Amino acid sequence: MNKVMLAKNTYLLGKMDDREVPFHRLILAKGTTYNAYLLKTEKPTVIDTVDLEFGREFVEYLSELIDPKEIQYIVINHTEPDHSGGLAALAGRAPNATIVCTEIAVNELKEMYKLHSRSFLVVKDGDTLDIGGKTLKFKETPYLHTEETMITYCIEDKILFPCDIFSTHVATNAFFADEADFDIIEDFIGYYNAIIHPHRRYVRTVINALQELDVQMIAPSHGYILREDIQKYIDLYATMSADTINDKKVTIVYTTIRNSTKKVADNLKKIFEENNIQTSVFNADKSDKATILESIKEADAVFIGSSTKYADMIGNLEDVLKDLIKMDLEGKIGAAFGSYGWSGEAIEVIQDYLNQTNLDVQSTSHVIKTTGMTHVEFPVRVRFTPKDEQLKKIEHSATYVADLLLSAI
């Protein structure tokens, strides 16, 4: 365990893990660190903890700096157990501490660490918390990289605690990037690519939020603390999260009885067009098949949808799908969608057809396995006419594909 002071009364409590750590189906060849922070103010506050495995060690080390009973707040920016895991050991030893997190995080933490009778303080975007001598400001960062995440900024110290964002996976005794005996950029970019890039749309929200903050130091939860040339790291995130490609095309083909599936198609189109992706939509029963197939040949992503009638697809769609199986669609993204009433067999039949092509067919399972995102669903299944939550669902799926199309990585 390490003890380093970042500002007056602000300590790094880090655990170095120099094993080849298995993480997100990767092996971290250089290991990693779990960085937590203690702000020893009038209302002592811990920001994040360490991996579950090192929880007791963490509390022992923390106890050398402060009696845990004095701790008033434990801020949890992100519930993944490599950061919140120390709560299991800390909560019992710090009975007077209120846990500070987003609303979504409350239930996750209660369930994960059996904290049902614990006191929680839910913070929202822009809320501040006076910890007696220092003030914390919170910014919700949903989907970066999970739904419940937030970042914390200490106004007096001008230190940003962004948890996973701006991290590096390097087991290091040089706590600050400027003290490393090599340039950390490659590791910084490698971490971004592995963990953050699939969520890059939300990186932009953070970059915008940072413009309103005077950040002099970035203290993430893995790897190096950044205190020199901070803007270089922020600019790198801005560049890496920007759209790099702008000439992509999507083709959407559907059939419908009473236009609910058309509404799904139109909403998909709206999202793609908001992302400057040229989008063509065809009702397979009202369009020339050769024109549809030509458009699919030109497209980078293909969405095929139908409503379900007596457990099957509607109209001419099957003819189009039979032709797709014979085409070379290598390198294109494919997705199924449709409106349905109770079972939605048509959508699954379309998915089966797409799986027989050489399209890169999207599925919920693949999205979860590759990004951890649970709010993106494929195929896109909408009960009856899409509204409210269902429109959000369509937006999430289209946005996900737009992000795949607009990024070179």
Ligand X SMILES: Cc1cc2nc3c(=O)[nH]c(=O)nc-3n(C[C@H](O)[C@H](O)[C@H](O)COP(=O)(O)O)c2cc1C
Report the interface residues with ligand X, using CB under 6 A.
Answer: 256-261, 307-311, 339-344, 384
Q: Which is nearer to ligand X, 259 or 407 (CB)?
A: 259
CA distances from 338 to 130, 139, 349, 381 (A): 50, 36, 11, 6
Contact 219, 165 (CB under 8 A): no
Question: Min. distance of Cβ 306 from ligand X in angstroms?
Answer: 8
CA 77 to chain centre: 13
CB of 201 to ligand X, least distance (A): 29
Q: What tokens does 322 get? A: 């039979």
Q: How far is the CB of 329 from ligand X (least distance, A)?
A: 25
Distance in angstroms (rounded) separating the CA atoms of residues 192 and 181 = 21
Nearest Cα neighbor of 221 from 90, 61, 48 is 48
Q: Which amino acid is at 236?
A: L
Whether 2 and 54 have beta carbons less than 8 Å apart is answered as no
Shortest CB 307 distance to ligand X, Å: 3
* Structure tokens given for 349: 């039949």
Tokens of 393: 């669902």
Q: Are 13 and 1 in contact (CB under 8 A)?
A: yes
Q: Which is nearer to ligand X, 87 or 321 (CB)?
A: 321
DSSP string, 314-330: -TTHHHHHHHHHHS--T
Residue 58's CB is within 10 A of a number of other CB atoms, namely 26
The smaller minimum CB distance to ligand X, of residues 56 and 258, is found at 258
CB of 90 to ligand X, least distance (A): 49
Question: Hey, what are 89's tokens?
Answer: 């050991």
DSSP letters for 68-81 = GGG--EEE-S--SH
Residue 217 identity (one-letter amino acid)? M
| 153 versus 303: smaller Cβ distance to ligand X | 303
- Residue 177 or residue 314: which is nearer to ligand X going by CB? 314
Q: Please tell me the distance from the alpha carbon of residue 251 to that of residue 381, in angstroms, as a whole number.
A: 18
- In the three-class reduction of DSSP (H, G, I as helix; E, B as strand; rest coil), residue 95 is classed as coil
Q: Which is nearer to ligand X, 43 or 263 (CB)?
A: 263
**What phi and psi values does residue 2 have, to the nearest 5 degrees?**
-120, 155
Least Å from the CB of residue 338 to ligand X: 7
Residue number with CB closer to ligand X (69 or 258): 258
Cβ-based nearer residue to ligand X, 348 or 360: 348
Closest distance to ligand X from the beta carbon of 253 (Å): 13
* Residue showing the smallest CB distance to ligand X in the complex: 341
Least distance (Å) between residue 183 CB and ligand X? 56
Q: How far is the CB of 400 from ligand X (least distance, A)?
A: 23
Determine the 3-state secondary structure of 167 from DSSP. Answer: coil
Q: Which two tokens stand for residue 265?
A: 């198609």
Min separation Cβ 385 and ligand X, Å: 7
How far is it, in rounded angstroms, from Cα 11 to Cα 78? 19
Looking at beta carbons only, is 154 or 398 nearer to ligand X?
398
Residue with smaller CB distance to ligand X, 31 or 344: 344
